[in-house]
Amino acid sequence: MSAGISNDFLPEWVRSEGEVSDVVISSRIRLARNLKGFPFPGHAGKEQLEQVVQRVCEAVGRTGTFAFLPPIRLSELTPNQRLVLVEKHLCSPQFTENPAQRLLIINDAQTISIMVNEEDHLRIQAIRGGFELDEALKLANDVDDFLEEYLDYWFDERRGYLTSCPTNVGTGLRASVMLHLPGLAMVDQIKQVLTALTHVGINIRGLYGEGTESLGNMYQISNQVTLGHSEEELTNNLKGVCKQIIEQERNVRANLLKESRLQLEDRIGRSYGILSQARLMTTQEALKLLSDVKLGVDLGIIPEVKKVNIRELLFLTRTSILQKVFGREMSPAERDYHRAMIIREKLNAK
């Protein structure tokens, strides 16, 4: 049944685990840029937005280096196709809300995406699996340099790259890292970590960005300021903070193994048992149980599922992805049935 899932469909950050994959899911860099002479998208008319679209298309058409796919007009997609792009982290939920004059450009490997006419004219994004912020920054910078060959950016000597919202001005850079922190959550230390982070200009959010709660113990942490520091400084600062959190998470896990191994094994075993046998599975339950199983795999507690890529399961069981894989809209009950089936198949595969 899961024959519909081809490797091409999975973005690279899902397929390849990357560095420090026991704690880090993915690393992302976003650069905000605007075209000189045009009002920012929120203040521009339809025609001006369309001109921006045309200019960007022309520029993108001049390269062979990045293997860009044909630009996608958001207005030509079905609502589910738009959601798939959000789940793949290729664009923001806000971007899909109002599809008129909005364009998305992605590359073959789905590591680069360029949102045209979101809050800024250009939002260049690079995403990698694991703890690979430097690689992501280099990729985003390369795309930025290439586009700048053909496009005049709105840049100011003192304020740097000018953006719609003054919180993005300067570098226009948002670096974020998605972390899986089941250990810290289990010993109730998450709150302390969060409070500490806000003191050093670092922002932390749930899985799907602003305002979403953290499902499956996933946390996205990113830099808050964009002006006054260089791209490298901002990225290194975030990396430093991440390293601290990673170390703390690993310490907690080691301690749990030492102090309460039986309880931990029991919890993980139960979650694994349910996932490998259940016939109906909601998104929320799947996220919760898969978080346990991922922890079990990373700690070597359940060697029989060593070959299963848990992040792939986390991705495949998202509602829009399920509908895409099965090629049709489904009722919630149908989705729960198919979600449980995919998980069973993957976990029980020999």
Residues that bind other proteins (CB under 8 A): 34, 36, 38-40, 42-43, 119, 141, 144-145, 148-149, 152-167, 169-171, 173, 201, 210-211, 225-231, 234
CB 245 within 8 A of CB 181: yes
> By C-beta, is 141 or 282 nearer to other proteins?
141
Least distance between other proteins and beta carbon 159 (Å): 6
> By C-beta, is 44 or 215 nearer to other proteins?
44
Residues ≥6 apart with Cβ < 8 Å to 184: 190, 193, 245, 248, 249, 252
Structure tokens at 294: 């991922």
Least distance between other proteins and beta carbon 319 (Å): 23
Least distance between other proteins and beta carbon 114 (Å): 17
Q: Where are the beta strands (DSSP E) in 1-111?
A: 24-33, 72-73, 103-106
Amino acid at site 347: L
Residue in the block written with tokens 């809050």: 119
> By C-beta, is 70 or 228 nearer to other proteins?
228
Least distance between other proteins and beta carbon 149 (Å): 6
> By C-beta, is 129 or 170 nearer to other proteins?
170
> By C-beta, is 120 or 336 nearer to other proteins?
120
Least distance between other proteins and beta carbon 343 (Å): 33
Least distance between other proteins and beta carbon 195 (Å): 17
CA–CA separation, 68 and 308 (whole Å): 30
- Exposed / middle / buried, residue 209 (Cβ in 10 Å: 0-12, 13-18, 19+): middle
Distances, alpha carbon 86 to alpha carbons 160, 237, 263, 279, in Å:
29, 27, 37, 27
> By C-beta, is 115 or 325 nearer to other proteins?
115
Residue 217 has phi, psi (to 5 degrees) of 60, 30
CB 110 within 8 A of CB 6: no
> By C-beta, is 176 or 217 nearer to other proteins?
176
Angle at 313 (CA atoms; ends 179, 85), nearest 5 degrees: 75
Least distance between other proteins and beta carbon 174 (Å): 13
